[in-house]
């Protein structure tokens, strides 16, 4: 069976202090993987890592848009665990703003648009390009593999709602870089797969009023509820395990197609 056992593999997960990233490090550590919790210095990353135990997890303060921060995190990864097998890009930011507000006669802020693009698309690309330096140190395994990259887009890349021009564009960029990256890295045994989540129960959504959350859940055909971060994490685990998944974007959304 070519299905790979994840035990002993080392993963760096960005945005791992919260939500989908946190669910991912929790699941992967439980499967016997070593995890690097890479998140902003101001995040709860240290807490998340210490909860998983010093043998299984370290926290590295990282702004994914910074070359220096990501390099440092990769050095820490090597120092603590000796190698890197998997990168999961979960760090991301969102904004809700229309391109033009005709009542207030106000344009969408350009700096906001660029910031969302920079963190979501630029940050994802930055982490991938630098992580390849550590992948390069891995020997090819018996299936000629040496690394896996998993990105997080959103169904907003396909059916972005009102106010999601910047967020949708940033996630569309992640979708569109998936295949060329998989092609770039194919000959050297690195796979690239992107997950496009629907609505997941994370701190982001937990903050909304009950009424809004109930309505949002009712828009999901089946199962008619928010996704659990562990369902996202289980998809991450499967992508690592299944060597035939590559260059693809997988919707994980209970058949939700968002309305305007
Ligand atoms: N929750 C959902 O329903 C949903 C749906 C579709 C896509 N997504 C995507 O999944 C990813 C995770 O979302 P979440 O719901 O877990 O959000 P979250 O806010 O709970 O977690 C995101 C994490 O990213 C970190 N982060 C933000 N900017 C960063 C930066 N510059 N450098 C490093 N870390 C940074 C934050 O500190 C935070 O810990 C995001 O990319 C988001 O766009 C989420
Ligand atoms: C991340 O780095 C960028 C570029 O240096 C900076 O503009 C931004 O404020 C930083 N983000 C955070 C949350 O510190």
Residue nearest ligand 2's atom 12 by CA? 63
pLDDT of residue 257: 98
pLDDT of residue 151: 99
Nearest ligand to the C-alpha atom of residue 40: 1
pLDDT of residue 75: 98
Mean pLDDT by 10 residues, the chain (260 residues): 92 98 98 98 98 97 98 98 98 96 97 98 99 98 96 98 97 99 98 98 87 95 98 98 98 96
Residue 193 DSSP code = E
pLDDT of residue 2: 84
- In sequence order, the 6+-apart residues with CB closer than 8 A to the CB of 149 are 86, 87, 89, 128, 131, 181, 185, 190, 191, 192, 193
Q: Across-strand partners of 192?
A: 149
pLDDT of residue 206: 83
pLDDT of residue 253: 98
Residues 255, 246, 26: CA angle, nearest 5 degrees? 70
Measured between its terminal Cα atoms, the distance across the chain in Å is 45
Retrieve residue 30's tokens. Answer: 């439980």
How many A from CA of 252 to the centre of ligand 1?
16
Residues belonging to the active site? 167
**With 0-12 CB in 10 A as exposed, 13-18 as middle and 19+ as buried, what is 190?**
buried
Q: Are 55 and 32 in contact (CB under 8 A)?
A: no
């Amino acid at each position: 069976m070519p299905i790979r056992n994840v035990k002993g593999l080392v993963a760096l997960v960005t945005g791992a202090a919260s939500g989908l990233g946190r669910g991912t490090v929790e699941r992967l550590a439980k499967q016997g993987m070593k995890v690097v919790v890479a998140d902003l210095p101001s995040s709860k990353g240290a807490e998340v890592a210490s909860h998983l135990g010093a043998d299984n997890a370290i926290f590295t303060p990282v702004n994914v848009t910074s070359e220096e921060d990501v390099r440092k995190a990769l050095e820490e990864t090597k120092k603590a665990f000796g190698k890197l097998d998997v990168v999961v890009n979960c760090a991301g930011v969102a904004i809700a703003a229309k391109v033009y507000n005709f009542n207030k006669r106000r344009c969408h802020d350009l700096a906001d648009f660029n910031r969302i693009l920079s963190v979501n698309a630029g940050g994802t690309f930055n982490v991938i390009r630098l992580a390849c330096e550590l992948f390069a140190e891995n020997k090819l395994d018996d299936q000629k593999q040496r690394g896996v990259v998993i990105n997080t887009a959103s169904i907003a890349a396909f059916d972005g709602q009102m106010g999601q021009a910047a967020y949708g564009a940033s996630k569309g960029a992640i979708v569109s870089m998936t295949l060329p990256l998989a092609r770039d890295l194919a000959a050297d045994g690195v796979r690239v797969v992107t997950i496009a989540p629907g609505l997941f129960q994370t701190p982001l959504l937990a903050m909304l009023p009950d009424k809004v959350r109930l309505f949002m859940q009712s828009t999901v055909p089946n199962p008619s509820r928010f996704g659990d971060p562990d369902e996202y994490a289980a998809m991450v685990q499967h992508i690592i395990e299944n060597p035939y998944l590559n260059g693809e974007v997988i919707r994980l959304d209970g058949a939700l197609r968002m309305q305007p």
